[in-house]
Amino acid sequence: MSNKKIAWERWDEDVIEQEIVEEFYDQEDDDGDGETVENALTFLQRIPSLVTTPMGMYQLHDKMNIMNQFDCWMGYTNFDITKSTEESIENTEGVELLNIMTRYRFFLGVGKMFDFSSVRRLIEESVCGSKLDEDTEEAIDMIKDSISSDRYCAIFVSQSGEIL
């Protein structure tokens, strides 16, 4: 495939906690018994929450939990993740943890002292062969700075460097 792409999704503990709470509220809607949900939530607050990650099961607020150790991301590709692709990603500066999940998906842990945006760009350049010109990169950085307070945002850049 000539037009290789990687899509990124943050592996976020806040989302995991919210999913746990929403699951209990959904059960309340099904049961119609608000007291059951309150009792369950009170009970859950007393025990450590366990989360399943691609690297194993951890207590949610344990310092050794990989989400507390790394900036965690899931990468989705439109091409096979071969051994050479795996080695390229693993050898990228800032990558501390890599787990190939399927032939099109991988889990990545970026070291806390590295900027994910830079690591992502290095991975995409080495694996996909895409490199943007300096003007486009500067424009993207300016847009990122102006929308950095937004939790969810996306910047689309065409292969020709046009920002959409």
Gyration radius of the chain over CA positions: 19
Q: Are residues 161 and 108 in the same domain?
A: no
HSE on the CB side for 127, CA within 13 Å?
Answer: 28
Let me know the angle formed at the C-alpha of 79 by 85 and 116, rounded to the nearest 5 degrees. Answer: 60
Per the structure, the complete domain to which residue 92 belongs is given by 1-129
44 and 3 within one domain: yes
Q: Please check whether residues 47 and 88 belong to one and the same domain.
A: yes
Domain count, the chain: 2
Residue 49 sits in the same domain as residue 102: yes
Per-residue model confidence as pLDDT tens for the chain (164 residues) = 458 889 998 876 555 555 655 665 665 555 555 566 676 666 666 555 666 677 766 666 666 666 667 788 999 999 999 999 999 999 999 999 999 999 999 999 999 999 998 999 899 989 988 666 777 778 877 887 787 777 777 777 776 677 77
37 and 9 within one domain: yes
